[in-house]
């Protein structure tokens, strides 16, 4: 078993008070790069878990979420000097008031439910 830190994305790692599906708008919050570099240096795996109800609301699609996560990792690598920062990103595209039928529901991954945490722990020991 390895030690891990689970992190929320919006308002914790990046500046965002709502839905963000645009990689060009990724902006790290102050101190994030330094803190994550310290956690990596202490041997922790870093896992991001995030609700992305904007997918269910039709504001962006899953590809945009993946692109945004890739951009976050790129910015973190640049700002930390590390070749790998986040071990995995997990997101929940579901929302009970979504406008996109496929994603309009509650889901065991939707925080505050523990689904993403449990899946990440299982996949990453």
Active site residues: 8, 10
How many angstroms separate the CA atoms of 100 and 120, rounded? 26
Contact in structure between 77 and 84 (CB atoms under 8 Å): yes
> CB 75: neighbour CB atoms within 10 A?
19
């Amino acid at each position: 078993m390895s030690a891990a830190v689970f992190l929320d994305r919006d308002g914790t790692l990046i500046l965002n008070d709502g839905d963000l599906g645009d990689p060009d708008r990724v902006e790290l919050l102050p101190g994030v790069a330094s803190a994550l570099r310290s956690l990596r240096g202490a041997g922790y795996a870093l896992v991001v878990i995030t609700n992305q109800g904007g997918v269910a609301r039709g504001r962006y699609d899953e590809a945009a979420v993946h692109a945004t996560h890739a951009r976050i990792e790129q910015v973190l690598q640049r700002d930390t000097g590390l070749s790998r920062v986040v071990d995995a990103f997990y997101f929940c595209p579901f929302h009970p008031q979504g406008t996109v039928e496929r994603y309009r529901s509650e889901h065991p991954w939707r925080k505050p439910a523990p689904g993403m945490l449990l899946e990440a722990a299982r996949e990453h020991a």
